[in-house]
């Protein structure tokens, strides 16, 4: 059967996974009466809850006499490592662009990578039924983007389709016809995307997606570049430097057939398949015939920009809510994650009790922590720090991000002010339709940590922020951090409503009555800039002068709910977030007040 391999790329929320749903339905991969979840490719719990794609996944459809392998990719810049690897596996890309928003930072990122590899994109203007759609302007913006990214003449001559992935139609004209469904898109893929290039020689494949299976063990997905492979065939795994990692037999070859993966008898050159049976091969390794000795070249991956410390939980409540608490178990889990996620790196500290985990952004690390806590892990994590570099002259360099903020005109002033306080430079300001403005900044990654929640507060939840790594530039100087101090519990026990009510004038709380607290745990936000130790266990003294029940029913202001991302971005360098399967607590790094004072003195002397 003829083959085509394509990836669907776009900015976050521009409709990639929804389009794949429609492609599966219209190609007959899903029966008419089959019950299928919406966004069927987002199979992970966290993906479904957040409505985002985190891991790239492959599927396939048959159109006319051709099998089309489709890879659905993430849209968030934090998961860009997934997209960079995938582009080696495909011969064409469908670039989806929202008909109102136009090309956004992540569009620029993925298009730049695709053009560099030499792919010729098909541009699909999606969500054409939006009331604020501006299809012609968006096409011009896409063309300008391609030109700015040094596209060749061939790549600039891209075909354009208009339509709605949700309603399941695409057409060469914005007004339709809609009756043909996605047939114009399928036909264009067959016509525009070249057949896979098949090289001469024995079996060779580069690992692109890695996953673990309870029955088959390690499964590696990739595209077969040359030759063919059958189950029980002996192959070897080469690392990027040519070292033989292992030699073993293929136990099973799986191919993507609609929503299912089915075992096949032979993997042929050009097809995207998953192989099982090897215990050491990973992403970017070459899976080859025993006669091959040179590894295949893998695409270089952009470096991580944010790092965090993962520590063993040593709080008084450690081990009461989770069952995976030791450093050995945490270490094995982190190394397993880094193996399959090339945008992540893990280093062990000298004392073996903490690990430095580096990634693309807070969201990527927060998703990893959320996954671990659902698996029963307990750990403490520090505030995210940016990865600094030094050039040949010894100048300190820091990562700078391109930030695009879409905001209502009335709130633009406060956004510009807050961003300038964070050492950001504005590079563009233009209207984006519907009394909204698009502000583009170049800002240090340091200044953006924790800004998302502040931005939503300042703009009453109407702003949309998108970020993308831009470059390393000289250090921009100190940035003012959090202005409030914290309220710290001075004893262990259960918080009492009466005590919390008495402390309300000191600042808002982050815990509820009845919550377990310990010495050194953060229970609230102080109105002033210093930290204050408070007693949240103090009950009301009862006397026989008035009835015991009188004024016991105190009315409390609801506490501030600290989600994982908010907690990570809010804490300071001397604070930690304690993460367990049931709770997210904030605490001081040093629980003992005397140790905290000693640490403050040392810091002041060093400064």
Annotated binding residues for GTP = 13-18, 126-129
Helix (H) / strand (E) containing 426: strand 425-431
Q: Which helix (H) or strand (E) holds 154?
A: helix 153-156
**The length of the chain, given as a count of residues:** 607
Cβ pair 449, 383 in contact under 8 A: yes
**Strands of 239-336, DSSP E:** 244-249, 252-257, 260-263, 267-268, 272-276, 286-288, 306-311
Q: Are 281 and 221 in contact (CB under 8 A)?
A: no
- CA angle centred on 499, ends 314 and 486, rounded to 5°: 50
Look at residues 271, 221, 601, 116 and name the one whose alpha carbon lies nearest to residue 108.
116
Binding site per annotation, positions: 13-18, 126-129
Strands (E), 92-203: 92-98, 122-126, 160-164, 169-171
From residue 369, alpha-carbon distances to 42, 565, 584 in Å are 19, 10, 11
Cα distance between residue 356 and residue 170, in whole Å: 47
Query: By three-state DSSP, how is residue 371 classified?
Result: helix
Q: What is the dihedral of CA 41, 45, 51, 54, to 10 degrees?
A: -70
φ, ψ of residue 159 to 5 degrees: the values are -75, 150
Q: How far is CA 534 from CA 457, 500, 504, in A?
A: 28, 10, 11
DSSP, residue by residue, 57-77: EEEEEEETTEEEEEEE---SG
Nearest to 161 by CA among 147, 176, 149: 176
Where would I find the beta strands (DSSP E) of 74-230?
92-98, 122-126, 160-164, 169-171, 204-213, 217-226, 228-229
Sequence-ordered list of residues with C-beta below 8 angstroms from that of 232, at least 6 positions apart, any chain: 249, 250, 251
Partners of 404 in the β-ladder: 440, 466
Planar angle of CA 294, 298, 300, nearest 5 degrees: 135
**Radius of gyration from C-alpha coordinates of the chain:** 27
Which single residue is written with the structure tokens 């396939």? 60
Strand partners, 306: 359, 386
d(CA 164, CA 307): 39
What's the token pair of residue 558? 């609801």
Q: How far apart are CA 560 and CA 537, in angstroms?
A: 19
**Cα–Cα distance between 176 and 179 in angstroms, integer?**
8
């Amino acid at each position: 059967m003829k083959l085509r391999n394509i990836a669907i790329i776009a900015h976050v929320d521009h409709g990639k996974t929804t389009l794949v749903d429609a492609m599966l339905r219209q190609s007959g991969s899903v029966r008419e009466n089959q019950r299928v979840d919406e966004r069927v490719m987002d199979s992970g719990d966290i993906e479904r809850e957040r409505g985002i794609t985190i891991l790239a996944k492959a599927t396939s459809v048959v159109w006319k006499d051709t099998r089309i392998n489709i890879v659905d990719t993430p849209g968030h810049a934090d998961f860009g490592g997934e997209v960079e690897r995938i582009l080696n596996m495909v011969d064409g890309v469908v670039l989806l662009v929202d008909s109102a928003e136009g090309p956004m930072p992540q569009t620029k990122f993925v298009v730049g990578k695709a053009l560099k590899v030499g792919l010729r994109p098909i541009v699909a203007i999606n969500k054409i039924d939006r009331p604020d759609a501006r299809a012609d302007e968006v096409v011009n913006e896409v063309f300008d983007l391609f030109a700015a990214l040094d596209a060749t003449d061939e790549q600039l001559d891209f075909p354009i389709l208009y339509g709605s992935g949700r309603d399941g139609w695409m057409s060469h004209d914005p007004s339709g016809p809609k009756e043909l469904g996605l047939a114009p898109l399928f036909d264009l893929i067959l016509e525009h995307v070249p057949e896979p290039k098949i090289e001469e020689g024995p079996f060779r494949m580069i690992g692109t997606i890695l996953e673990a299976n309870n029955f088959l063990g390690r499964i590696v997905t990739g595209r077969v570049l040359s030759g063919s492979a059958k189950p029980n065939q002996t192959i070897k795994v080469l690392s990027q430097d040519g070292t033989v990692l292992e030699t073993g037999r293929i136990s099973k070859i799986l191919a993507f057939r609609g929503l299912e993966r089915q075992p096949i008898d032979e993997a042929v050159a050009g097809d995207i398949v998953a192989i099982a049976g090897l215990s050491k091969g990973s992403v970017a390794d070459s899976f080859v015939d025993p006669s091959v000795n040179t590894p295949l070249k893998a695409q270089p991956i952009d470096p991580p920009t944010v790092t965090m410390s993962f520590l063993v939980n040593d709080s008084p409540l450690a081990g009461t809510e989770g069952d995976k608490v030791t450093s050995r178990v945490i270490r094995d889990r982190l190394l397993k994650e880094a193996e399959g996620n090339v945008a992540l790196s893990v280093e062990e500290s000298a004392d073996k009790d903490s690990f430095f985990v580096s990634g693309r952004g807070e969201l990527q690390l927060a998703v990893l922590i959320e996954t671990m806590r659902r698996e029963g892990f307990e750990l403490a994590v520090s505030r995210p720090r940016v990865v600094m570099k030094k050039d040949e002259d010894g100048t300190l360099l820091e990562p700078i991000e391109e930030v695009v903020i879409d905001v209502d005109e009335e709130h633009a002033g406060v956004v510009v002010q807050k961003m300038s306080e964070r050492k950001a430079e504005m590079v563009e300001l233009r209207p984006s339709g519907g009394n909204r403005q698009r502000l583009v900044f170049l800002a240090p990654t340091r200044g953006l940590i924790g800004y998302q929640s502040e931005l939503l507060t300042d703009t009453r939840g109407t702003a949309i922020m998108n970020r993308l790594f831009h470059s390393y530039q000289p250090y921009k100087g100190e940035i003012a951090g959090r202005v409030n101090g914290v309220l710290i519990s001075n004893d262990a026990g259960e918080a009492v409503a009466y005590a919390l009510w008495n402390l309300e004038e000191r600042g808002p709380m982050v815990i509820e009555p009845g919550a377990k607290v310990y010495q050194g745990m953060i229970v609230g936000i102080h109105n002033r800039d210093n930290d204050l130790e408070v007693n949240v266990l103090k009950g009301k003294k009862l006397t026989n002068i008035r009835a015991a029940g009188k004024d016991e029913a105190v009315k409390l202001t609801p506490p501030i709910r600290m989600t994982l991302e908010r907690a990570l971005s809010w804490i300071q360098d001397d604070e930690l977030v304690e993460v367990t399967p049931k709770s997210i607590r904030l605490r001081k790094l040093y629980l003992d007040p005397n140790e905290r004072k000693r640490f403050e003195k040392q810091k002041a002397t060093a400064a």
